[in-house]
Structure 1
Amino acid sequence: MFNLKQRVYDEFNLKKQADELGVSVWQTPSFLFIIMGLVIIAAMTGIYVVSAHYDSPEVVVISESLVVILLFTIGNSIIRTVEEVAKANKMKTEFVSIASHQLKTPISEMKWQIELLLIKFSTGLSVRQTEIMNEIARSSEKMGRLVNDLLDVARIDQGQLALDKKNVNFCDLANDSVESQKIFAKARNIELVTSCNVDKLMVFADKRRLSVVLDNLISNAIKYIDGKGKVEIFVENVDGFAQVCVRDDGVGIPKNEQDNIAEKFFRSNNSIKNRTDGTGLGLYIAKNIIEQSGGKLWFKSIENVGSEFYFSVPLAIEKETVVA
């Protein structure tokens, strides 16, 4: 009920809409629709009054013409506002895509040079110099992930996120993702537990993109546990879909923020927000990857108790062998 009230409030919060769209309050679609509704009501009432008091058809025609002109003007203003917002959004997406592409090459080169330096000249570096180089390497890795996320967001916004779908053993993929997160989890005193109730669970999906989704959900679960805790990953076959549940006993998500959790750049305002790295893009990308794969992503969360994130992807269709 609270979420419904909040959505209604946001829908008619003209100042907030104006700030988000970068237009005046009177140019927001909600304001213009309200005005149009009032004009229609007033016009219907006015025409009824005019037609009741005047027998002349010319007066009625003129009244209707004025109403049509007024409605056309308001409608045209709405269309122009929407077009301007759409153009601005397209320019923003194109800029992010171009900028990310331009940044990707130098960041990759920097990463390779640092790795080469650490491999070839590690014996000549002091302990402090090695620490600095490792910190630079970690920072370049973060920048690389951010650039990749921005590129994925741009592709999603443009409807160009391509998936290379093949048959993938989902249990193996889940185990690989868990294995890659073990060092991170151990450093934060988090126990990782995996359960796959079948030996082989084949799905038809993009292996690399699916790994991104798993890594994102598992790393989020680890990051949002304040102190010692446990992250459990369950994989099972549910009605023709491979279903994953990533469960944690972390800080959870406030109820009033749960509707926004998969929006771009959104980060929950919980107790350890300022102590975790993140851009607010991971769940947005994950949700789009899963939906484009033919599945869905959802979650359950209780603040100060923990969260359960689920997603499902279709199982691969087994080809029947035809015996001659």
Structure 2
Amino acid sequence: VTAKEKESVRNKLVTTAKKLAVTAKETELINKELRTLDVAKDEFVSIASHQLRTPLTALKGYAGMLLDGDAGPINDKQHEYLLEIKNSNDRMIGLITALLNVSRVDLGVFIVEPERLNLKKVAEDALKDLGVKIVGKQLQIETNFRDDVPLINADLNIVRMIFQNLLSNAVKYTPEKGRINVNLKKDGSNILISVADSGYGIPSNVQSKIFTKMFRADNARVKDPDGTGLGLYIIKSTLEKTGGKIWFESIENKGSTFYVTIPLNGMKKKEGTKRLELK
């Protein structure tokens, strides 16, 4: 190889290195712009959701008053229409609340305020809230709350959200006269929560996507067209930032079991601007 050829190769390498440096800088600028747009999108969702929820909350209140006869008696057909208005409004409020929580999680602005909690009581309250649906579907509920589970420091809204989501999903996706088991026990340095059902299960080919934002399996869409696909995403994202974990096991047409761990030493406190909200 002659000196001239060496110089030519060296020049080409220098030129290539300069082009790569320019490309890297351009890529960095594009990524920065994309991150800015992503933050702007989350902020827009947060603001829009908040503004939408205010009139919907008022509508819910007035519909409830009309159903209760506060403005005078109503006939059966009026009751039917008002009930449909109220139920549709409740679904919309649930979606907006979920979107608000997603934006707070994605922006990292949600607050975690641990306090001494009795997890058994939170679980029992969540089951009580679902009582009408449980009775309506004639579901068999079995609970196993170990006596050695201590009070722990955890954020009440987050823990309520965990139980509400896992139990409402179990009720929703378990057929009539099915079975749901709710367990609470110490497991090493954690408290282990598990909710098992004899429901429709999750197809194996989509199980890797179950914690993805807005994802819903086809069989879930058939059973409940109004779901948002946000609940499990919010729970997983929140637990990862507070020291906990969530995972599941499922066999299609046989049922699912979801597991959640919360450290015995409690959730990590987190500063922010807004708490996560319940439906």
For normalisation by structure 1, the TM-score amounts to 0.76
Distance in 2 separating the partners of 1:91 and 1:67? 36
Is this contact kept in 2: 1:263–1:284, CA < 8 A? yes
- The whole-number CA distance in structure 2 between the counterparts of 1:217 and 1:149 is 15
**CA RMSD after TM alignment:** 2.0
Is 1:68 matched with 2:17? yes
Which residue number corresponds to residue 21 of structure 1?
Answer: none
- Paired position in structure 1 for 2:222: 274
Confirm whether residue 238 of structure 1 aligns to residue 187 of structure 2. yes
Paired residue secondary structure (2:213): coil
Q: Partners in 2 of 1:99 and 1:90 — Cα distance?
A: 14
Contact 1:171 1:201 in 2 (8 A): no
| Residues in 2 aligned to 1:253 and 1:164: alpha-carbon distance in whole angstroms | 33
Task: Tell me which residue corresponds to 2:159.
Answer: 210
Q: Which protein is bigger by CA-based radius of gyration?
A: 1
Count of paired positions: 265
| 1:111 is the counterpart of 2:65 | no
**2:148/2:185 contact within 8 Å kept:** no
Unaligned runs of 5+ in 2: 267-279
Q: What is the distance in 2 between the residues matched to 1:56 and 1:314?
A: 65
Q: Distance in 2 between matches of 1:308 and 1:77?
A: 46
How far did residue 99 of structure 1 move?
0.5
Q: Is 1:121 equivalent to 2:66 in the alignment?
A: no
Unmatched 5+ residue regions in structure 1?
1-51, 318-324
Render the CA deviation track for 1:225-257: whole Å, top value 9, x for unaligned. 244311111111112322110001111112221
Sequence identity percentage:
33
Cα deviation, residue 291, structure 1 = 2.5
The residue matched to 2:59 in structure 1 has which SS? helix
Deviates more, 1:63-72 or 1:260-269: 63-72
| Secondary structure of the structure 2 residue equivalent to 1:124 | coil
Deviation of residue 55 (structure 1)? 5.0
Q: CA deviation at 1:199?
A: 6.7
Q: Identify which of structures 1 and 2 has the higher relative contact order when contacts are C-alpha pairs closer than 8 Å and 6+ apart.
A: 2
Q: Is the 8 A contact 2:137 2:175 kept in 1?
A: no
SS at match of 2:111: coil
Compare the two structures and name the one with the higher helix fraction.
1
For residue 134 of structure 1, what is the amino acid of its counterpart?
L
TM-score by length of 2: 0.87
